[in-house]
C-alpha cells in the first residue's frame, strides 16, 4: 500500500466529497486563499472556486450557524473550526441547534453537517489553544465524535462521516498532520463506532484515541522489552463508543489502562472506565486505571507542557503501581 501523511489523507477525502457531490461546500477561517491553518485545503480555492470554498469572518457562532442552516436547506456543508478551543464560541449552535433539529422536528429536518476541528496540545500554543474538549461533546446525544489516529483511519472515517445525515465533530490532533502511514489504494470506508485493535496482547489492555493511541503503542513497545505483552485498542470514535471490543480484550487480559490527553477531572476516559467495569467486572484483576492530562491550564513553557500531557513512561508507571507489572 502507498504511504501518505495524515494531512494528505484528509485532503484526499475532502476532494473526493467535493468532486462527487455539487452540494458539498466548505466554510472556515483561512481555508481559501491561505490554504488552511494546517495546509489541508491548499489549492482548494483555485480548484473549486469561492462559491464552494468560502473564507469566513472570525466568528465561530456565525460559521456553524450558517452551516446548520445550509444543511437544513439541502446542502452538505463542511465547516472548519481552526481549533476545538474556538468551538466554545459556537457551542450553542452545535449543541442546541445542529444536534437537536432532527428530534425537535420529529425527523422532518436533518443536519448533515461535518465540523472539522483541531484538538490537543504539545505544539507550544499555550492554554487557550491546546485543550482536548472532544470528551465534552461526546456527552451530547445526536452528535458523532470522531478521533482518527492514522492516515488510513482519517480517510476511511472521513468517507463515512460525509454520508451521515446528522452532525459530526471530526477531531484532528495538531501533532498528527505530518504522520505517515499506509493507505489502501482500493476504495474503503471505516464504520463509525468500531474500535481498532492496534496491537494484540494478553497481559494488559491499553486504550487510547487520537494521539494517545500512539502513546499507548509506545508504552506497549517498551513493555514488550520487559516481557509484558500489552494489547492496544484505538477507540477511533467517542460517540458512538465501542465498549464491546474493549470489554472483550479485558476479558482476555484482566487488566486495563485508559490513556487520555484531556484533564483527569470529568474526563471521558473515566466514563469509559466505568463502562468497562460494568461489562467486564468479573474478569478484572483490579480497577480500571485512568491516565489523564494534568488538571492545569496547558503551560506555554515546553518543559511544563510535556509534564502536563501523558506519555509512555506514565503509562508504564501506572501499570507497575497498580498491577505490579
The residues annotated as belonging to the active site are 60, 129
What pairs with residue 232 in β-bridges?
A: 199, 206
CA distance 152 to 276: 27
CA distance 297 to 291: 17
Of the candidates 235, 242, 248, which has an alpha carbon nearest to the alpha carbon of residue 202?
A: 248
| DSSP E strand stretches across the chain | 3-5, 24-28, 53-55, 76-81, 114-119, 144-146, 168-173, 180-182, 196-199, 204-208, 230-234, 237-239, 256-263, 289-293
Pairing of strands 196-199, 289-293: unpaired
Do residues 51 and 102 lie in contact, with contact meaning Cβ atoms separated by under 8 Å? no
Pairing of strands 24-28, 144-146: unpaired
CA distance 314 to 320: 10
What is the maximum alpha-carbon separation in the chain? 60
Residue length of the chain: 325
Amino acid at each position: 500500500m502507498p504511504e501518505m501523511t495524515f494531512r494528505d489523507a484528509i485532503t484526499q477525502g475532502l476532494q473526493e466529497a467535493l468532486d462527487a457531490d455539487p452540494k458539498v461546500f466548505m466554510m472556515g477561517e483561512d481555508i481559501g486563499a491561505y490554504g488552511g491553518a494546517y495546509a489541508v485545503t491548499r489549492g482548494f480555492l483555485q480548484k473549486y472556486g469561492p462559491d464552494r470554498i468560502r473564507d469566513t469572518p472570525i466568528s465561530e457562532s456565525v460559521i456553524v450557524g450558517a452551516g446548520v442552516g445550509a444543511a437544513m436547506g439541502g446542502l452538505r456543508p463542511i465547516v472548519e473550526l481552526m481549533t476545538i478551543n474556538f468551538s466554545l464560541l459556537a457551542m450553542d449552535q452545535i449543541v442546541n441547534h445542529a444536534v437537536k433539529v432532527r428530534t425537535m422536528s420529529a425527523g422532518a429536518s436533518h443536519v448533515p453537517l461535518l465540523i472539522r476541528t483541531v484538538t490537543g496540545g504539545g505544539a507550544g500554543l499555550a492554554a487557550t489553544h491546546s485543550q482536548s474538549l472532544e470528551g465534552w461533546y461526546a456527552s451530547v446525544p445526536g452528535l458523532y465524535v470522531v478521533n482518527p489516529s492514522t492516515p488510513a483511519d482519517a480517510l476511511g472515517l472521513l468517507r463515512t462521516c460525509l454520508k451521515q445525515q446528522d452532525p459530526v465533530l471530526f477531531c484532528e490532533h495538531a501533532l498528527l498532520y505530518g504522520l505517515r502511514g499506509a493507505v489502501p489504494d482500493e476504495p474503503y470506508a471505516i464504520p463509525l463506532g468500531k474500535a481498532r485493535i492496534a496491537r494484540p496482547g494478553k497481559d494488559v489492555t491499553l486504550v487510547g484515541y487520537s494521539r494517545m493511541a500512539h502513546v499507548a503503542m509506545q508504552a506497549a513497545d517498551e513493555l514488550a522489552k520487559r516481557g509484558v505483552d500489552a494489547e492496544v485498542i484505538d477507540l477511533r470514535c467517542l460517540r458512538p463508543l465501542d465498549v464491546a471490543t474493549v470489554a472483550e480484550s479485558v476479558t482476555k487480559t484482566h487488566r486495563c489502562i485508559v490513556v487520555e490527553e484531556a484533564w483527569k477531572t470529568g474526563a471521558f476516559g473515566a466514563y469509559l472506565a466505568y463502562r468497562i467495569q460494568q461489562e467486564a467486572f468479573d474478569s478484572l484483576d483490579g480497577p480500571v486505571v485512568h491516565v489523564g492530562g494534568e488538571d492545569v491550564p496547558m503551560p506555554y513553557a515546553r518543559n511544563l507542557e510535556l509534564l502536563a500531557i501523558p506519555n509512555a513512561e506514565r503509562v508504564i508507571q501506572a501499570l507497575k503501581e497498580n498491577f505490579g507489572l
